[in-house]
Amino acid sequence: MSRQEAEGILKLSSKMESLLKSPQKCARVLKDRITANVFFEASTRTSLSFQTASARLGAKPIVFSNKTSSSAKGESFSDTIRMVDGYADAIVLRHPCEGAAQLASEIARHPVINAGDGANQHPTQALIDLYTIRKLKGKIAGVNVALFGDLLHARAMHSLLFGLLLFKAKVTLVSPKGLSMPPALVREAEMKFKVKIRCATKPDLKNADVLYVCRVQKERYSDKKKAEAAARLFRVDSRLLKSAKKGLAILHPLPKVVEISPEVDLDPRAKYFEQAKNGVPVRMAVLSWCALGKKKAAWRGVSLRFACKNPSCITRAESIAGSAAMGADGVLRCRYCEKPA
């Protein structure tokens, strides 16, 4: 997404937030359209806020769950997408495989919105985060943001890193040993935005304007004991926050489990529930943006057929021949999960 496109969605989100005050006007925007929520992974906020956004705009959301659908009988992902594409005007997709949304967007005639693909990306969460930061701080450029937690697996952090750099925020990646952001992603971001990204193992709260925390993504670990050990490596509590600025904003994509102490909820600097509420206007903007018929960006780059080595890539789950392409940083990567070949 270009800066101009992201800016357009953020502006539209503010308009949607105002429009929410006139429910009848709001309900004319996508009147009689159908949106499909296709979720192969657990979700509370993303699923509910997309359904709310759709209903507020006058569209009717239909909901798929892999537990009660024919996926439980072994239907392939590609077939499921073909079916839903025949029913709905837009597809909101969450899937445990990386690159699932990219593949679905190539199968479907209707727009596909990535609501999280494995440990890869979660772009609409990043838009909510940018919208929230701008609302709280009045700007994004120059704001000091510390991304803190399981940066290795958290897709929300992966998308947010690119979003923040697109808007010229000052980012520090803070993660305990073993949980740092994938180096290929950091390199790509540094080359794309021509910056050197700061990394630390503890947050420097004296200088941070935003502390963005995420949980250990237990479901991405094959060894549950390792996940539990990782969850003990960091925690935000009132003691840690003592050195922080008065104007600090504490954000979290939620769900939070053990990484934020319960007393932090009472700290006026905790803004995560406000952030979650912003999910509705931002997702209303995303849905109506799709309805404007914005064309998908054409695939650019050298396309080569190859077999992706990433075990979590959708091309492995669906046994389809992958295709690789050269990224902006000159690295050959899988067209679907975006991992270096």
State the chain's maximal CA–CA distance in angstroms.
55
Q: Which of residues 244-263 bind ligand NCD (CB under 6 A)?
A: 253-254
The nearer residue to ligand NCD, 159 or 288, going by C-beta atoms, is 159
Interaction of residue 120 with ligand NCD, rule CB under 6 A: no
Q: Give 33 or 132: the residue with its C-beta nearer to ligand NCD.
A: 132
Give least dist CB 148 to ligand NCD, A.
13
Clarify whether 46 is annotated catalytic.
yes
CB of 279 to ligand NCD, least distance (A): 8
- Geometric angle at alpha carbon 242, from 236 and 248, rounded to 5°: 75
Query: How many distinct helices (H) and strands (E) make up the chain?
Result: 13, 12
- Considering only residues 12, 57, 156, 286, which one is a binding residue for ligand NCD as defined by CB under 6 A? 156
Other beta carbons less than 10 A from residue 219's beta carbon: 13
Pick between residue 33 and residue 252 the one whose CB is nearest to ligand NCD. 252
Put the strands of the sheet holding 60-65 in their side by side order: 60-65, 34-39, 90-95, 112-117
Burial level of 332, CB count in 10 A (0-12/13-18/19+)? middle
Which member of 116, 123, 163, 340 binds ligand NCD (CB under 6 A)? 116
Q: Please identify which residue in 16, 17, 45, 114 interacts with ligand NCD, judged by CB under 6 A.
A: 45
10 Å Cβ neighbour count for 298?
A: 5
Q: Is the peptide bond before 255 cis (omega within 30 degrees of 0)?
A: yes
269 is catalytic: no
Of 76 and 180, which has the nearer Cβ to ligand NCD? Answer: 180
Residues, the chain: 341
Could you confirm whether 45 is annotated as catalytic?
yes
11 tagged catalytic: no
- Of 249, 341, 244, give the one whose Cα is nearest residue 301: 341
Catalytic residue among 46, 80, 124, 132: 46
* CA dist., res. 28 & res. 43, Å (int): 28
With CA atoms as reference, report the closest residue to 336 among 113, 98, 118, 114.
Answer: 98
**Binding segment (CB under 6 A) for ligand NCD, from list 30-38, 80-88, 170-178, 212-220:** 212-220
Catalytic residue among 33, 45, 155, 252: 45
- Per rule CB under 6 A, is residue 153 in the interface with ligand NCD? no
Task: Give residue 335's Cα distance to chain centre.
Answer: 18
C-beta of 51 vs 217, nearer to ligand NCD? 217
Is 155 one of the binding residues for ligand NCD (CB under 6 A)? yes
User: What residues make contact with ligand NCD under the rule CB under 6 A?
Assistant: 45-46, 116, 122, 125, 155-156, 214-215, 217, 253-254
The residues that are catalytic are 45-46, 73, 94, 122
